[in-house]
Amino acid sequence: MPNLAGGLGTQPVTRMSFQIRLNHLDGGQVAFSGEPEVSIARSAALAGIQLTTGCLQGRCAICRAYLQQGSVRLRRRPSPSALTSPLARTDGTVLLCAIVPLSAVELTPLSPWTGPV
């Protein structure tokens, strides 16, 4: 992990990252790193993983996934036109475009995805 300079007279700040594991519905799995301020969908793209995404604002819900393990939080306020919160969906899923990891996480996306490419 790279160190970032904290400014004059301060110690360097270490950038934190967490392991993100994605499960295929057919049983395969891939792992990559994600930072606590970067959405899981964006972290996947940076790792060469192509998730099925749409609006990237938490409205369309095409990036739904089951959270199997770990902790996540919203990256930003939900879109005003979102029908439900990306964390409080009635079907028990989270939206990968709208959440960031707070720990190592394991998720099972419901839409097709490939990677790493």
Look at residue 81 and tell me if it is in a domain.
Answer: yes
DSSP characters over 72-114: EEESSPPPTT-SS-TTS-TTS-EETTTEEESS-EEEEESS-EE
Mean pLDDT, to the nearest integer, of 81-109? Answer: 84
Confidence of residue 90 (pLDDT cuts 50, 70, 90): confident
Q: Evaluate whether residue 6 is within a structural domain.
A: no
Please indicate, yes or no, if residue 5 is contained in any of the structural domains. Answer: no
Share of the chain above pLDDT 90, in %: 56
Q: Mean pLDDT across the chain, nearest whole number?
A: 83
**Is 42 among the domain residues?**
yes
Structural domain of 21: 14-114
- Residue 85's pLDDT is 67
Residue 71 lies in a domain: yes
Beta bridge partners of 13: 4
What's the confidence (pLDDT) of residue 41? 97
- The answer to whether 63 touches 53, Cβ cutoff 8 Å, is yes
Q: Which residue shows structure tokens 């029908």?
A: 83
Q: Would you say residue 6 has pLDDT above 90?
A: no
pLDDT in tens, 16-28: 899 999 999 888 9
* pLDDT surpasses 70 at 108: yes
Q: What is the CATH number of the domain that holds 93?
A: 3.10.20.30
Q: Is residue 41 part of a domain?
A: yes
pLDDT reported for residue 40: 97
